[in-house]
Structure 1
């Protein structure tokens, strides 16, 4: 857990995470949000453990991989304790979609997906995604149907298959899209702009 600097404490931002998270976003979240007065707390499904440790994806051949130990179980999250939640990029959100038991026609019952259903139903709670992290939302098409978003080019088809509208800027996806309580960023290269917009939306 990373605690905001001892200035004005404005609230807590929860970040959903698993193995193979994006290191750029991880480092920038840890630096920027506390400086703005917000505590960052990492959240995952702990599979009955007290804590789990995860590693990031190597960046540009750099194998000095960042690690984080998470103690907050997604099933135990109280939405009222947070001002917003972010799904971190890279492959972490694909891992959080995993469900042990599946049946034909049954909605995805992974704890993180069930959590998103509750979070999206709560009025005025801000949710943020970057790059591949819309994968978690794609586990239940009802979460994105009719919403305007942006994402990594790799997952455009996954997102559009939910009924979401991917916003384009000429021949690429848009850098940032705000659709009500949902703030989406294209890829880690727009992390700074994404964080600034996320705080702006929270503080409106």
Structure 2
């Protein structure tokens, strides 16, 4: 495909669910590295990757990755509406990194004193309530959980350095090491990664938590 050709989006269901499904919450401006490694690694280990998003009344929507040198390389066609999805149908739920997580927490009409009711926030709220369901974030994707302080209060996490203040203000305990935030933190059913550079390590840990955790 040339830089000026029309992109052919990847269909938002990848692999066969031999061991189960892993749901990935996605929107425009998703991280390209994570996207590629999720699609390669999880199906190789027997898990189907299902991309979910709020489709705003459409049967499907196509989302693009963050642009690299002005060119959006990856596109995904999402047909799974998050408001109709049940977290119990999945072995694990991941929020993809980059600015997609900020777009996912958008709510049309916020109301004073009411927790964020964006479809993705409502979904992740239900998912986190199941202590046996593994939830994963990398880099900026912890932003989605910052939309409701109750989701992060008292949780031990790691994240990108540029959202540390947001995460700490949401009540989480960010874990630090010699070089800023640590690469990976597992706190119960929540697995958090620092940045896309540790995606392979994150996937290995996430799979281990699914297959060996309680």
Superposition TM-score, scaled by structure 1 size: 0.95
Q: Which residue of 2 aligns with 1:157?
A: 165
The Cα of 1:114 is off from its aligned counterpart by 0.7
Following superposition, which runs of at least 4 residues in structure 1 exceed 2 angstroms of deviation?
1-5
Distance 1:179 1:2, change over 3 A: same
Match of 1:32 among 17, 38, 41: 41
Once the 2 structures are TM-superposed, how far is the Cα of residue 27 of structure 1 from its aligned partner?
0.5
- Residue number in structure 2 paired with 1:114: 122
129-138 or 114-123: bigger deviation? 114-123
Quote how far apart the aligned CAs of 1:2 are: 3.4
Secondary structure of the structure 2 residue equivalent to 1:106: coil
Could you tell me whether the CA contact under 8 Å between 2:131 and 2:188 is conserved in 1? no
Consecutive unaligned residues of structure 2, counting only runs of 5 or more, are: 1-11
Q: CA deviation at 1:122?
A: 1.1
Partner of 1:91 in structure 2? 99
Q: Which position in structure 2 is the counterpart of 1:21?
A: 30
SS in structure 2 opposite 1:203?
helix
Is the Cα contact below 8 Å between 2:95 and 2:101 reproduced in 1? yes
Distance 2:28 2:15 in 1: 24
1:195 to 184, 188, 203: 203
CA-atom RMSD in angstroms: 1.2
**By how many angstroms is 1:80 displaced?**
2.1
Runs of at least 5 residues in structure 1 that lack an aligned partner in the other structure: none
Which residue pairs with 2:8 in the alignment? none
Hey, what's the Cα distance between the residues in 1 that align with 2:86 and 2:110? 27
